[in-house]
Chain A
């Protein structure tokens, strides 16, 4: 269920975040209930330059959320803030009602493939096992149960046969799945994916969406930062972000020509608008 940002800030202030009372229960979503992520009035700036202005939104459990916006819109900043890596100027983030410091192990980050050092001497298993490191403490070593969890996570993403492969010897889709497995190994129920579809082919994209769909069906909440507007209809909820939340809600409501124009400003080329319009027609037959 999507609610306006509540008592701290009104919908008007967040730039027209869409609060649609009709979408109390959405088809395809496994669970509904209190929000697992509640962000209120989040403002972040780097020096003098504001990156996020008074961002508020709530995400119920088990939803697949797509975050789109132009470069510099603050998408990565939003992810980093959700991960507790950035001290916001103001505003609050609650994960299942708790501040981030107390909810670290409920969140897991899946990095962009190009941000990973693929020459690092680690195997697939090593990477997935790293998902347990957060619980180990300074001198801890992963034990038998940790290894079992890592193998189990690899099983879930159907990568068991690649356990001892070096990460360089994987295809793009397999690399993506390894890092999703690590997030699963963290036993997090909120996964933040940074551009998982960057530079993958259509078949891989489909495979990742299948996996993602499986995860949301199991009640995991996924926030996916994304560049590609053509896949927006696959998300349960879409956030159009450009420093502020231009629109947030079920895809068919949030993604409109008007909202996209407001998100991308004048930068959206005619061609892109044509593509969006075409897609718009598909979304609303």
Chain B
């Protein structure tokens, strides 16, 4: 492969002039390929067929070369049938080899696709020199070769793929999610499989000129995987993957122009960046949002601690300055300042000179916390049998789960006092609790 790469001489800038005719054709084709690959890719990813996708893109080579030999044309429409045939045949052979021998499916994929690829290389090298079609074009894409005919072909293939998926959406869904149950309903799972393989072959051969066979699998898997991070519904995943595919293709074209590099790799890099962003930012699984949620929780707990400290200072007739609150809560003065600011913003406390006093709403909420704390203490000492020395620290944690306080109270039979002998405020508010 390295020697192959060394032979290549790229000079991309000549045809990448933005808004030229060639650029327009190429971008249009790439975006269509991106959308079709992205949408199809969802099923490839969900069915764990990534390896098959890779295999398929390689296995269409002999079909493409034979088509070229017969027609001597390089437009996608002429290569199309050959590629489709080789693709579906290799998918069939992969199944056959793993069924008829003890070969596992991944090995059988490896055997079949390398064999097809090797055959394709031999056929391609037997082509007379100087023809339009050569390995370089096949492996790395050849955007220069994109012509009006290809644009037309892609304009047909990509919408056809999308429409087909739309039409048989529900069958695809159940056959991918639960093939066994689909089969019991009389749905032919293998028909679905070959339908997908056929559409994948068609899309891959279309992507051949824009990204080349080696990288086209990235257009299938990466945008779909990015969408997978973000979605809990299949149809949103399909739409998002299509959008990611289109964005990768379009942005890849621009990147290729800026960096004077081949288009295929640039598209793959954009797709990978999208995937990385999805991984970091996903609402459920994303690393960044998880960290933010943790931080938010921490803030919430600290601000409740501060509120309670102000309440206690108030109760004992002292003036609650920030430093005093910091001493009580063990938080840094800067942190306490920040918490008091947000408590003021929520109108739970108000400033009185240097000190903070509770608003009626703040008093209610603080009393709720104290109530939760004392109820949890009673629960820990009574029901859970925890040592008296440890219940306070544990209740400090548990008081933040004040939404369970009512249940605890009921479970304990509405106690009046906590284990330390302090009055537990009633739910209605602090006023009568202190009487």
Contact = CB atoms under 8 A, between A and B. Distances in A.
Contacts of A141: 169-170
A105 B186 CA distance: 9
B177 A122 contact: yes
Contacts of B364: none
Nearest to A142: B170
Contacts of A127: 177
Interface in B160-177: 167-171, 173-174, 176-177
Interface string A154-167: 00000000000010
A133 interface: yes
A140 B167 CA distance: 8
Nearest to A141: B170
Interface stretch (A9-17, A109-117, A273-281): A109-117
A111 B177 contact: no
Contacts of A101: 186
Contacts of B168: 138-139
B170 A120 contact: no
Contacts of A121: 46, 228, 231-234, 236-237
Contacts of B178: 111, 116, 130
A130 B185 CA distance: 10
A200 B167 CA distance: 39
B46 A84 contact: no
A85 B180 contact: yes
Contacts of A123: 232-233
Contacts of A120: 46, 176-177, 234
A263 to B, nearest CB: 26
A104 B185 CA distance: 6
Contacts of B177: 117, 120, 122, 127, 130
A123 B231 CA distance: 11
A147 B178 CA distance: 19
Contacts of A111: 178, 180-181
B233 A134 contact: no
Interface in B367-415: none
Contact of A109 (B167, B169, B180): B180
Contacts of A116: 178
A121 B173 CA distance: 10
A109 B183 CA distance: 10
Nearest to A137: B171
Contacts of A140: 170
A139 to B, nearest CB: 5
Contact of A134 (B167, B169, B173, B185): B185
A82 to B, nearest CB: 9
Contacts of A85: 180, 183-184
Nearest to B169: A141
A126 B233 contact: yes
Interface string B213-244: 00000000000000010011110110000000
Contacts of B228: 121
A107 interface: yes
B187 interface: yes
B182 interface: yes
Contacts of A122: 173, 177, 232-234
Contacts of A133: 170-171, 173-174, 182, 185, 187
A186 B174 CA distance: 13
Nearest to A183: B181
Given A111-B181, A130-B181, A138 B171 contact: yes
Interface string A125-149: 0110010011010111110000000
B346 to A, nearest CB: 30
Interface string B143-175: 000000000000000000000000111110110
A222 B161 CA distance: 41
Nearest to A104: B186
Interface string B76-105: 000000000000000000000000000000
Nearest to B227: A121
B106 to A, nearest CB: 18
Contacts of B187: 133-134
Contacts of A186: 185
A133 B172 CA distance: 11
A139 B231 CA distance: 24
A176 to B, nearest CB: 15
B169, B171, B174: most-surrounded residue (chain A CB, <10 A): B174
A130 B232 CA distance: 16
A104 B181 CA distance: 11
A229 interface: no
A163 to B, nearest CB: 13
B170, B236, B237: most-surrounded residue (chain A CB, <10 A): B170
A139 B169 CA distance: 8
A180 to B, nearest CB: 13
A84 B187 CA distance: 12
A179 to B, nearest CB: 9
A132 to B, nearest CB: 9
B234 A139 contact: no
A225 B171 CA distance: 28
Contacts of B237: 121
A83 interface: yes
A178 to B, nearest CB: 12
A87 to B, nearest CB: 13
B157 to A, nearest CB: 20
B367 to A, nearest CB: 32
A109 B184 contact: yes
Contact of B181 (A105, A109, A138): A109
Contacts of A104: 184-186
A126 B181 CA distance: 14
A261 to B, nearest CB: 33
Interface in A34-67: none
Nearest to B168: A138
Nearest to B236: A121
A95 B178 CA distance: 23
Nearest to B234: A121
A-B pairs with lowest CB-CB distance, top 10: A134-B185, A166-B232, A83-B184, A133-B174, A121-B234, A130-B174, A139-B167, A121-B237, A120-B177, A121-B231
Given A104-B186, A141-B170, 15 more contacts: A85-B180, A104-B184, A105-B185, A108-B184, A109-B180, A109-B184, A121-B234, A126-B173, A126-B233, A130-B181, A133-B185, A133-B187, A134-B187, A136-B171, A138-B171
Interface of B: 46, 167-171, 173-174, 176-178, 180-187, 228, 231-234, 236-237
